[in-house]
Copies of this chain bind each other. A is one copy, B any other.
Amino acid sequence: MREVSGTDSALSIGSRAPARGQGEARAAGSRRADAVRNRGKVLDAAERLFARDGVERVTMQAVAKEAGVGVGTLYRGFTDKAGLAIALLDERERQFQELMLSGPPPLGPGAEPAERLAAFVAGYVGLVAEQLELVLLSQTASPGARFRSGAHALWRTHCRHLLDLAGAPDPELRADALLAALSGEMIGHWLSEPDRDVAEITSAMTGLSRSLASDPATPSPGQG
């Protein structure tokens, strides 16, 4: 199954690249051939089952069976169920990270810090909303899971940096607070309420990010 691309489900993200990052064992260099093969089979199987049955109703047993490996292999390649989700999210997150680090403004360098932050928030909300189930799995598998993902460290650093440039007080804590407000749990909750959609959330949260970024010593820039 899956050779080097082919037609894929809506969740698909193309052929499995060498990969690195969270919830995975050693560096790509010293991986045994069978391990690499199995890793791909597992990700394919998980993607397929998650898309078909919904993340929550897919058991690790089922993933193992679909992939044709033992459960032990799942846990060797990925730390736990959350690790599976993190690996599946990895691709999209990296695309976004690239845009945010070196793409065009306002997301990328060149715009005012507060505007870059707002652009980050808008993009991040979209990312989370689009992959909500996987994000939820990756963030709520265990208390504090959110903070342990490699991607999170990057979001956090980026926000902290922009808040710092904008002159906001307590940039570290505010970065954390902002990301907490954008957790899968929070966004999922908002989306579950009637009359609430991604656009409204995005608009409110970008506004909030501007409030967070404002240095209280500076008179707020006129806006109405």
Interface set of A (CB-CB < 8 Å, partner B): 136, 140, 143-144, 146-147, 169-170, 173-174, 176-178, 180-181, 183-186, 188-190, 201, 204-205, 207-208, 210-212, 214, 216-220, 223-224
Contact = CB atoms under 8 A, between A and B. Distances in A.
Given A136-B143, A183-B180, A216 B205 contact: no
17 contacts: A140-B140, A173-B190, A173-B204, A173-B208, A176-B190, A177-B177, A177-B180, A177-B186, A178-B181, A207-B216, A208-B212, A211-B212, A211-B214, A214-B220, A216-B224, A219-B219, A219-B220
A177 B185 contact: no
Copies of the chain in the assembly: 2
Lowest 3 A-B CB distances belong to which pairs?
Answer: A177-B181, A170-B204, A173-B204
B212 A216 contact: no
A218 B220 CA distance: 8
Contacts of A178: 181
A144 B147 CA distance: 18
Contact of A144 (B180, B189, B204, B207): B189
